[in-house]
Amino acid sequence: MNFSDVANQEQYPFSLPDLPYEKHKLEPYFTPESFDFHHGKHHKAYVDNLNKIIQDNTIMHEMNLEKIILKSFNSNQTIFNNAAQIWNHSFFWHSIKPNGGGLPTGRIFEQIQNDFNSFEEFSKEFKQAAVSQFGSGWVWLVFDMKKLRILKTSNANTPITNNLLPIICCDVWEHAYYIDYRNKRPDYAAVVIDKALNWEFANNNLERAESFYSD
Ligand code: FE
C-alpha cells in the first residue's frame, strides 16, 4: 500500500503532476503567478533533477517514487531531496483547494476535537508550527499511533520515512509565499488554514490511515 496515491508515482521517468484545480481558482489568496513559479518552476525542477540524476540508475528505474524516497533516505541526499520534494509538493497541491479552509466536516472534525480539544486549538498549533519552523520545511498533520499530531520537517524531509501517513500539509519554504505574501509567513499560514485547507482530502487520508495502521 502506498502512503498516498496522489503523491506517489509508479515509475521513472517521473512527471510533473497537473494541479488538481485551475491556477486562478485560489484567487485572491494565491495568484496564478505564484502557481506558475511554485508548481511550474520549483516543483518541475525537482522532477527534472530526479530524472536526470537517476537516468543511469537502472535499479531505481524499477522502483516507484516512494521506494526511491525510502531507499535514498540517509544514503543519497541528492536523490532523496529531489524525490521527497516531488512527493511533498504533489501532496501539498491536494492539501489546498478553492473555497477550502475553516471548519472541517466529517470524521476528521471529530478526530481533531478528540486529539486537540478543539478545532481552534488545532488551528493555533498548526499555525504556530508553520511560523516557528526555522528555515525551509513543511508542517504536517499526521496520524500516529491512532492519534493526530502536528509535525514539522525541515528541507525535503517527509513523514513517510518514519512510517507516518500524512493527513494534510503546508509548504513553508519561502518559495511558497514570497510572491503573494513577501516575507510574511504568518499571513500565508493563516490563509492556508482559514481559506484553503482541503478537509475532504484530509477525510480520505484519515480513512486510509485507519486501514493502513490496522493491518
Ligand atoms: Fe514548495
Residue-wise pLDDT tens digits, 188-207: 999 999 999 999 999 999 99
Distance CA 157, CA 168 (A): 15
Distance 68 CA to ligand 1 centre (A): 20
Distance 175 CA to ligand 1 centre (A): 6
Distance CA 166, CA 202 (A): 9
Report the predicted TM-score, pTM, of the whole model to 2 decimal places.
0.98
* 146-187 per-position pLDDT tens digit: 999 999 999 999 999 999 999 999 999 999 999 999 999 999
Distance 11 CA to ligand 1 centre (A): 22
* 61-93 per-position pLDDT tens digit: 999 999 999 999 999 999 999 999 999 999 999
CB distance 168 to 88 below 8 Å: no
Share of the chain above pLDDT 70, in %: 100
Question: Which residues have CB atoms below 5 A from the ion given as ligand 1?
Answer: 171, 173, 176
Axis-axis angle for helices 77-95, 65-72 (nearest 10): 130
Q: How many Å from the N-terminal Cα to the C-terminal Cα in the chain?
A: 11
